[in-house]
Structure 1
Amino acid sequence: MTKYDSIVIGSGNGGLVGALNLAKHGKKVLLLEKHNVPGGCATTFVRGRFEFDTALHQLYGINEDPYGNKGLLRKIFEELGIYNKIKFVNQEEAFSVEVKGFGGVAVPGAKEGFVKTLQAVSPDEAKGIELFQELVNTAGTEYDKLYDFLAQDREITAEDFPCLFEHGGKLVTEVMSEHFKNPMVTAAYSVLSDYAGMPIERLPFMTYASVYFRGGETCNVNGGSQSISSAIVDEFESCGGTFMCNTKVKELLIEDSKVTGVLTTKGDVFKSDSVLCNVNKTRVYVDLIDEKHVSDEVFMNLKVSTPAESVFAVFLGLNCSYQEAGIKHGTNFVINPMIETKTPFDVTMRRTDRDIKGLYYSCYNIDDPEYSDPGTCVISMLSQQTSEHWMQMAPAQYHEEKMKFGTKVLDFFLDLYPDARNHIEEIEMATPLTFQNYLGSLGGSIYATEPNIKDYIANKLEVRSPIKGLYFCGCSVLMGGFDMTYKSGKAASDLMLRDFEKEEK
C-alpha cells in the first residue's frame, strides 16, 4: 500500500495551493477531489457557446501599488511558479453602486482614486473618509499579517497587532458612523461586506478591513477561475503530486489521537500521517471522524459557528454586446431601499422570501473583451439567500420555486436593462442547494461559517487540529473569498512544513 507524506482533501483554492506548496518542497502528496474537476468555487461550466464562472467576480492581491509593492497573492503565485501561467485582467473600475431612487457612484480601482471619488460625493466629510480609509488600511494590513503568524506558529499579540486589538472587536457600523453619515458613501463602503458572507450590521471591523483596505484594486482572469485551478494542478503534477478526482473521502482514519490516512467511498485506503482538509471543520469532525476521537471541547467550539449566507445565482449569455444591452460597469451593486428597510438607506442586501432587496451582478466582457465570442457578453448575478426554506421543499415545489425566484432576479435585472430581454441566448440558475451539492458546504454557504469574533477565537485562528497530523485550510481559517482561501492554503502548508522539519530533527 502506497503511503504519502501528506494527503489533501478537497481541491478548492486552499487545498490546491496547500498541495502545490507541499509538493514544491519535495513532499509526496495525494490530492483528492469528489467532483470531476478541480477548483471548488474556482470552476467554470459551459452552456451552449458560453462559459460561465461559478463564483469569481473580482480577485484581490494581484496588482502592484504605485510604489511597486506586489500584492500578497501575487507573491504566493510567483513563489509557486504559476503567476506567469495565468492571464490576469486588470479592472480599472472597482465597482458601481446604485441606490434606486437616490442615484449612484462608480468607484475607480486605484486606492487614491477610490478615496477621492467618495470625498467628491460628500465634500464636507472628506477628512472623515480619509481617516476611515487609513484605519481600514492599517487594520487590513495587520489582517494579512495574520497568515504569516499562523504559518510561523507565532502568538498573536496586541504588540504585533495594535489596530486589530483596539478595533477588531467593534462592528463596522460603529466605526463607520464615527467618520461619515452620507448615504451614498455609506453604501459604497458597505456593499463589499457581501464578500465576507455576513450582514454588515453584524460584521466585525477586523474582517471588514480585510476586504476594503486595498481600496478597489482588483483584477479578473482570462478564461475564468478554472484557468487558475488548472494551472495549479498542472504545476502540482509536474512536481510529482498525484491528483485524483471523482474520489470522495468517507472517513478519516485515526489511531491513538493521530491521523493515519483516509478511507474513500469506493473502499480505497490511502495512508499518511499528515492530512490537510480543505473542508468545513464542522463537516470534518461530524461526518468524517468517529465521534469517539473528537473531544468535547472541539464540539463545544463548533457550537459558536454559524453557517454563512448562500446566494441565488442567475447566469446569462446574451447574443449582443454589453454596449447594446446598455451595461456600463463591470461590477455592480444595486440596492432597492424601499423593500423591508429600517431606513431609506439600509444598504444590506439580505434575502427576503418575497422581494429582491438588492442585486450584485458582473459583466465580464467590459474588462475582458475576449471573455466570450464577438458580439456577445456574459452576465453573472447574485442575490443573497439562506437555505432553510429551500431545504424544506419537495422536489416538485423546489423546481417551481427555483423558476419563480429566478424570474424575480431576472426581472430586477431587466428592469435596469430592458434592451437585454430579447438577446438572452442561454440562462442557468443555481440555488443554495446547488452550491451545497457541488461544494458540500453547510446550507450551500460559499463562505462556510460567519466570521464572528467567537468563531475566530474558538476555530478560525487555529490551523492545527487537536488530532495530531490533521490540519485545516480554506474558509475554516480566518475567512472565505478567493484570495483569502488561497492564502490559507499557503499558511497551512507552511506550518505543516515546519512540523515536518521538527519531526525530522
Structure 2
Amino acid sequence: MAEKYDVIVVGAGNGGLMAAASSARMGKKTLLIERHNLAGGAATSFIRGRFEFEVALHELCEYGHADNPRAVRKMYDWLGANVKMQELPDTYRYIIYGKDGFDVKMPAGRENFINAMEKYVPGTSEKMEKLFDLCEQSMNALAEIADGKDKKEVIKKYPAFIEYATKSWDDVLNKLKLPKKAQQILGAYWCYIDIPTDEFEFPYFATMLATYVENDAYIPQRRSHDMSTALAQVIYDNGGDVWLSTTVEKILVENGQAVGVQIKGEKVFAKEVICGITPHAVYGNMMDQKCIPEYALKYANSHKLGTSAFLVYLGLNKSCRELGINDYSVFIASTGDTRKQYENCKTMDKNDFMIMNCLNTVIPNASPKGTSVCYITKLVDDGVWDNVKPKDYEKLKVKIAKNAIDEYEQATGIKISDSIEEIAIAAPPTFARYMGTPDGEIYGYHCAPWDQIIGRSMDLKNVVNPLPHLYFCGGHGFMCDGYNVSYTTGLTAAKIAVSDINNMGADHE
C-alpha cells in the first residue's frame, strides 16, 4: 500500500468531510477514510418502508440568505458544493404544560420575535431590543474572529463581547431584568448544545439565538445526506480519494510527529493527519501511549462526555394537514427551568423534555403523498442506560417511545398514535454502535463553564494541533458541537495543516 498523501483525514462526519473537502480545494492531495459504507456520520438518512428518515439534523444555522451569506453558505459556495436548502418560516413553538406553563410560537426575524415576546410577556420590548443588540455584538465578533480579524480590533469594535465573555446567559438576562417567563421562552435552544442557561456562556448562546432569529434556519431539501454527498463530491472533483468501509487501526507516529495511518497492517503516509473522531478513541485505541503528549492526555481526560439521545422516528399514514400538525419544531417539557430540564435528562423516569419535528410542514414531498415524517428527540445524560440489562432493552425502548408519543399528544391535542405506519427507535447504544463514541454521546465533550467556546478558542493551538502534524476537528474540537461549528473546525484544521505544508516546503517531503 505505502501510498503518500499531503493530508489524510480520519472520519467522514461533518468536521472530517469539511476538512478533507477544504484540503482538496486548496490543492493538496487528500485522502478521506471512513469505516462506514457512507460518508456523513450523523449527517445521513435511512429508509424504513416507504419513508426516508433524517437521522439527526433539526435545523442548520449560520447558513444565511444569498444576499447575506453566513459561515456555512460561504464554505459551500467557496467549495462549489451544490445543496438545495429550505428556509424555515419560524424559530420554534415551545410548550410548557406544568405549573406556570405556556404555549408560544416564536417567529423568525428580530422585529417579529420581539413583538411576539411582547405579546406573551407584556412590557419586554425595550429589554429585548437591548438583548438583541448585545447578541448581535457577540455574533459579529465571533464571525470576525473566525474570519481571521485581529482580536484586539474586534474587542474594540464590540465591547459587549468581552464584557460578557465570562458571564452566563442567565446572568445577563437577570441584569437586563427580563421576567422569568421571557427568560424561559428564550432558553429553548439550550438543548442544541446540552448546556443549561445558568452555565451557558453568554456570547455562545447569544450568537446561536441571534443567528437563528435574524438569519433564519435551514434544512436540506433532500435530507442531510445530500450535504455529505456534496462535500464528498468536492473531494473527488479536486483529485482526492475517499475510502469507505475502511477502518484506521493506528495513527503512525515517528520522532514525535504524525506521519500517516495504518490500515489492515499496511501503512499509508501523509504530511498531515486530521482526525474527525473523538480524542478518546484516538488516544485510547489508535496511538501508542508513549507517543501522546502529557498535556493532550490531561486535556482529554479533563472533559466529561457530552449527552447521548433517544430518538423515535415516525412514518405516519396521514398528511400533516390531516393530523393538524402545523409546526416544524415543537419543544415540550413539564418545566421551563433549563437546569431542571438538564438534570431530568440524567434520569429515566423524570426525563420529559422533548423536541418534535415534522419535515412535511416545510417540505411537503418529504414523504409519499398523504403521509408525513416526524421524529421525537430526547437528550440522555450521564450514562443513564449503562445499567440497562440486555433482556430489558427492547421493552424499555418501546416504553419510552410510547411515553414520548403520549406526551406529545397530551401537550398538543394532536392524535398521531393511530396513524403510525413505520416506527424506528434509536437509543444511546444505537449511537454507540453507529458513531463509535463512548456511551453513544452525540455532542462531543460537555462544555463545562471553564471549557466553552471562549476558553477553547484561547487555547486553539493545543486543542486543534496537540502533536506535530496531527489535528482534531468536529464535535470534540474547539467550538463545542453542532453542524455549523463542526464545519468550522474542519475548515480551520485544514487551513492550519495546509499552511504547515506550505511553510515547510521541501523540508517536509
* TM-score calculated relative to the size of structure 2: 0.91
Shift in CA distance, 225/350, structure 1 to aligned 2, threshold 3 Å: farther
Is 1:315 aligned to residue 313 of structure 2? yes
* Greater mean alpha carbon deviation, residues 56-65 or residues 453-462: 453-462
Shift in CA distance, 187/445, structure 1 to aligned 2, threshold 3 Å: same
User: Superposition pairs for residues 142-153 of structure 1, below 5 Å?
Assistant: 142-149=141-148
Residue in 2 that maps onto 1:466: 466
Q: Tell me the secondary structure at the aligned position of residue 5 of structure 1.
A: strand
Match of 2:270 among 272, 294, 312: 272
Note the aligned Cα RMSD (angstroms).
2.4
Is 1:449 aligned to residue 449 of structure 2? no
1:8-64 deviation digits (Å, cap 9, x = unpaired): 011111111111111112211110111111101101011111011111111112222
Residue in 1 that maps onto 2:29: 28
Contact 1:196 1:208 in 2 (8 A): no
User: Superposition pairs for residues 29-428 of structure 1, below 5 Å?
Assistant: 29-64=30-65, 68-82=67-81, 85-100=82-97, 102-149=101-148, 162-216=159-213, 217-264=216-263, 266-337=264-335, 350-351=344-345, 352-386=347-381, 388-415=383-410, 416-428=412-424
Shift in CA distance, 97/349, structure 1 to aligned 2, threshold 3 Å: farther
- In 1, distance between residues paired with 2:17 and 2:76? 12
Residue in 2 that maps onto 1:438: 434
Shift in CA distance, 241/464, structure 1 to aligned 2, threshold 3 Å: same
Report the AA paired with residue 287 of structure 2.
Answer: I
Report the AA paired with residue 468 of structure 2.
Answer: K
Please report how far the alpha carbon of residue 418 of structure 1 lies from its aligned counterpart in structure 2 after TM superposition: 4.6
Contact 1:281 1:472 in 2 (8 A): yes
Please report how far the alpha carbon of residue 204 of structure 1 lies from its aligned counterpart in structure 2 after TM superposition: 1.7
Provide structure 2 residue ranges, at least 5 long, that are not aligned to the other structure. none
1:122-162 deviation digits (Å, cap 9, x = unpaired): 2312111111121112112222334334xx99899855774
Contact 1:386 1:443 in 2 (8 A): no
- In 1, distance between residues paired with 2:298 and 2:386? 26
Shift in CA distance, 153/447, structure 1 to aligned 2, threshold 3 Å: farther
Q: How many residues align?
A: 494
- In 2, distance between residues paired with 1:157 and 1:252? 38
Contact 1:191 1:347 in 2 (8 A): no
Contact 1:138 1:213 in 2 (8 A): no
Shift in CA distance, 455/283, structure 1 to aligned 2, threshold 3 Å: farther
User: Superposition pairs for residues 482-501 of structure 1, below 5 Å?
Assistant: 482-501=483-502
Please report how far the alpha carbon of residue 417 of structure 1 lies from its aligned counterpart in structure 2 after TM superposition: 4.5
Q: Tell me the secondary structure at the aligned position of residue 466 of structure 1.
A: coil
Please report how far the alpha carbon of residue 98 of structure 1 lies from its aligned counterpart in structure 2 after TM superposition: 1.3
Please report how far the alpha carbon of residue 290 of structure 1 lies from its aligned counterpart in structure 2 after TM superposition: 1.1
Contact 2:145 2:154 in 1 (8 A): no
Contact 1:322 1:365 in 2 (8 A): yes
Report the AA paired with residue 436 of structure 2.
Answer: G
Contact 1:250 1:262 in 2 (8 A): yes
Report the AA paired with residue 305 of structure 1.
Answer: H
1:359-408 deviation digits (Å, cap 9, x = unpaired): 11110110111111111111011111125231233321222222222222
Contact 2:25 2:234 in 1 (8 A): no
* Greater mean alpha carbon deviation, residues 296-305 or residues 34-43: 296-305
Please report how far the alpha carbon of residue 332 of structure 1 lies from its aligned counterpart in structure 2 after TM superposition: 0.9
Contact 1:391 1:433 in 2 (8 A): no
Contact 1:32 1:248 in 2 (8 A): yes
- In 1, distance between residues paired with 2:260 and 2:231? 24
Please report how far the alpha carbon of residue 268 of structure 1 lies from its aligned counterpart in structure 2 after TM superposition: 3.2
Contact 1:115 1:133 in 2 (8 A): no
- In 2, distance between residues paired with 1:64 and 1:349? 37
Shift in CA distance, 56/215, structure 1 to aligned 2, threshold 3 Å: closer
1:431-470 deviation digits (Å, cap 9, x = unpaired): 1221122112232221111223433536873454231101
- In 2, distance between residues paired with 1:287 and 1:145? 37
Contact 2:405 2:417 in 1 (8 A): no
- In 2, distance between residues paired with 1:269 and 1:160? 50
Shift in CA distance, 203/357, structure 1 to aligned 2, threshold 3 Å: same
Q: Percent identity?
A: 27
Contact 1:387 1:432 in 2 (8 A): no
Contact 1:387 1:433 in 2 (8 A): no
Shift in CA distance, 270/290, structure 1 to aligned 2, threshold 3 Å: same
* Greater mean alpha carbon deviation, residues 383-392 or residues 348-357: 348-357
Shift in CA distance, 498/103, structure 1 to aligned 2, threshold 3 Å: same
Contact 2:473 2:490 in 1 (8 A): yes
Shift in CA distance, 492/35, structure 1 to aligned 2, threshold 3 Å: same
Contact 1:200 1:348 in 2 (8 A): no
